[in-house]
């Protein structure tokens, strides 16, 4: 297999890529493979998904089933959010939130605690109500919220087995509108941080770490009170044309703005399904910081602006609500997410990350599992109080270490 991840900054070393079309084949491949992992849609920026053998689940039948009584949707775990949303449309149901792009696989997003934004929105893994997993013995295990260890199974980092089926909470379909405000000042952001992040259902602050913050993207449910269209948002003015978060890029691949109401799945992601998300030529890093440290952590990044800017395309600040999932960066605390879309220059990015991780260390920042970061297990461990429980779960479900890989050993377990 000579293929790379979406960003092209990592070439998988796996010798084989399996594409089973039946659950029994998944069981057989896993039971017979010395080392194996599931490959999702390859949107992670590091070696988290690699192994000697890889398994893609995208040939399994989607089998989307909406349970209107239980308010859930169940489906085959290889599905991408865009495909799932399309199937849900016909049933009139919706998910509470999405990430910036609909192209990612649901199981891969859940495994890495991928998130969108919103003061009251948990990360995407928090909607998981149940799952089916093939463990390294080839056996099928099912679990739901009532089961012991469920909170450890969901954000599994690909280490516990192959998730073959997921059940997510749904609600009645809803409509969303999106507006971009431009020219927010730094003082305005610090003085009104809570008011700004609660202006909409999901709020993203984009910055290039220059003299002013730049854009605020506000996504509101159509039934929410209107934003200040003609006035301003703490000094930021409503844009009169569509914008791309990265200055100078054509907004054609962005979801519609200017307050035009549309389906939840067409507005919550920043980028549209049929188009390249973001810039397409980039690396990404992101750090999740306890919300109480928001102003100080953002100021710490401003102090590094001269180091950050030469390799930066854009930064985004979002808010994510606390949860109880053991390996979630939101475990036990509301967070802000400080994100960096970098130019595709791995070495230069890693040099800047050394400074960023140093500056964010006093705030106990947790790196996004799927993006580029430097921290290793020894510094990550004290930030995850349920890590010992997770390690026991890994050893219990996968005693022969079939799903263990170099990334997990180095970044999480601290083993060779
Ligand atoms: C352009 C772009 C925009 C992004 N925007 C956001 C964003 O808005 N918010 C955010 O939080 N992140 C974002 N990300 C990061 C992305 O969501 C994560 O990296 C996510 O893990 C990608 O899912 P994937 O299916 O591509 O995973 P992969 O990279 O393929 O795999 C990631 C991990 O999931 C495991 N995995 C995948 N499927 C299964 C399965 N069925 N069973 C068990 N384990 C499995 C893999 O083994 C691996 O450990 C973005 C990435 C890109 C490229």
pLDDT at 412 over 60: yes
* pLDDT tens readout for residues 11-40: 999 999 999 999 999 999 999 999 999 999
Distance between Cα 25 and ligand 1 center (Å): 23
The predicted pLDDT at position 231 comes to: 64
**Are 96 and 248 a contacting pair, CB within 8 Å?**
no
Does one domain contain both 135 and 268?
A: no
Does one domain contain both 167 and 110?
A: yes
Query: 235: burial class by Cβ within 10 Å (0-12, 13-18, 19+)?
Result: middle
Q: How far apart are CA 204 and CA 239, in angstroms?
A: 15
Mean pLDDT over each residue of the chain, to the nearest integer = 95
Q: Is 108 in the pocket of ligand 1 (CB under 6 A)?
A: yes
Q: Is 320 in the pocket of ligand 1 (CB under 6 A)?
A: no
What is the number of structural domains in the chain? 2
Does one domain contain both 189 and 160?
A: no
Q: How far apart are CA 119 and CA 318, in angstroms?
A: 9
pLDDT (mean) for 151-164: 98
Q: How far apart are CA 393 and CA 356, in angstroms?
A: 32
Residue nearest to atom 37 of ligand 1 (CA): 108
Does one domain contain both 167 and 93?
A: yes
* pLDDT tens readout for residues 309-343: 999 999 999 999 999 999 999 999 999 999 999 99
| Phi, psi angle pair for 111, to nearest 5° | -60, -25
- State which ligand 1 atom lies nearest to the alpha carbon of 160: 43
Cα→Cα distances 397→172, 235, 373, 402, 403, Å:
36, 54, 27, 10, 10
Domain assignment of residue 154, given as a range: 65-173
End-to-end CA distance of the chain: 25
Does one domain contain both 168 and 181?
A: no
* pLDDT tens readout for residues 110-156: 999 999 999 999 999 999 999 999 999 999 999 999 999 999 999 99
The predicted pLDDT at position 415 comes to: 86
Does one domain contain both 154 and 269?
A: no
Does one domain contain both 105 and 223?
A: no
* pLDDT tens readout for residues 63-84: 999 999 999 999 999 999 999 9
Does one domain contain both 318 and 334?
A: yes
- Final residue before a domain boundary, out of 157, 173, 189: 173
* pLDDT tens readout for residues 208-260: 999 999 999 999 999 988 776 666 899 999 999 999 998 888 898 899 999 99
Tokens coding 262? 């549309």
The predicted pLDDT at position 248 comes to: 83
The predicted pLDDT at position 119 comes to: 98
Q: Is pTM beyond 0.85 here? A: yes
Q: Which residues contact 396 (CB under 8 A, 6 or more apart)?
A: none
Does one domain contain both 200 and 169?
A: no
Does one domain contain both 96 and 118?
A: yes
- State which ligand 1 atom lies nearest to the alpha carbon of 78: 41
pLDDT (mean) for 155-159: 98
The predicted pLDDT at position 181 comes to: 94
**Are 97 and 124 a contacting pair, CB within 8 Å?**
yes
- State which ligand 1 atom lies nearest to the alpha carbon of 277: 1
Q: How far apart are CA 216 and CA 180, in angstroms?
A: 6
Distance between Cα 220 and ligand 1 center (Å): 26
Tokens coding 66? 């909406």
User: Where do the DSSP E strands lie in 93-247?
Assistant: 93-94, 128-134, 140-144, 162-169, 171-172, 175-184, 202-207, 214-221, 232-233, 236-238
């Amino acid at each position: 297999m000579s293929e790379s991840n979406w960003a092209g900054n990592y070439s998988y070393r796996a010798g084989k890529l399996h594409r089973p079309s039946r659950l029994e084949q998944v069981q057989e491949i896993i039971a017979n493979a010395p080392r194996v992992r599931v490959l999702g849609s390859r949107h992670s920026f590091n070696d988290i998904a690699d192994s000697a053998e890889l398994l893609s689940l995208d040939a399994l039948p989607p089998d989307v089933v909406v349970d209107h009584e239980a308010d859930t949707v169940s489906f085959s775990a290889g599905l991408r959010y865009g495909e799932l949303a399309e199937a849900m449309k016909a049933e009139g149901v919706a998910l509470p939130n999405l990430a910036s792009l609909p192209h990612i696989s649901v199981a891969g997003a859940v495994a890495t605690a991928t998130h969108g934004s919103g003061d009251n929105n948990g990360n995407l893994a928090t909607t998981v109500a149940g799952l089916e997993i093939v463990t390294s013995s080839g056996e099928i295990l099912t679990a739901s919220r009532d089961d012991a260890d469920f909170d450890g199974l969901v954000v599994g980092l690909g280490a516990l087995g192959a998730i073959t089926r997921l059940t997510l909470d749904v609600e009645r379909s809803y409509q969303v509108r999106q507006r971009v405000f431009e020219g927010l000042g730094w003082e305005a952001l610090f003085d009104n941080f809570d008011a700004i992040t609660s202006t909409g259902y999901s709020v993203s602050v984009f910055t290039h770490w220059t003299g002013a913050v730049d854009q605020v993207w506000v996504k509101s449910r159509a039934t929410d009170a209107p934003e200040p269209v003609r006035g301003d948002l703490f000094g930021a003015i409503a844009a009169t044309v569509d914008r791309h978060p990265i200055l100078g890029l054509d907004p054609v691949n962005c979801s519609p703005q200017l307050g035009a109401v549309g389906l939840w799945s067409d507005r919550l992601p920043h980028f549209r399904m049929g188009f390249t998300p973001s810039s397409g030529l980039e690396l990404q890093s992101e750090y999740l910081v306890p919300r109480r440290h928001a102003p100080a952590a953002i100021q710490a990044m401003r102090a590094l602006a001269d180091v950050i800017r030469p390799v930066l395309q854009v930064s985004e600040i979002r808010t994510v609500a606390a949860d109880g999932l053991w390996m979630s960066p939101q475990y036990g605390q509301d967070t802000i997410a400080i994100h960096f879309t970098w130019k595709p220059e791995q070495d230069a990015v890693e040099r800047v990350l050394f400074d960023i991780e140093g500056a964010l260390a006093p705030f106990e920042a947790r790196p996004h599992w799927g993006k580029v970061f430097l921290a290793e297990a020894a510094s990550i461990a004290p930030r995850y109080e349920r890590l010992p429980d997770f390690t026991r779960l890994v050893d219990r479900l996968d005693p022969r270490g079939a799903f263990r890989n170099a990334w997990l050993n180095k970044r999480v377990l601290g083993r060779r």
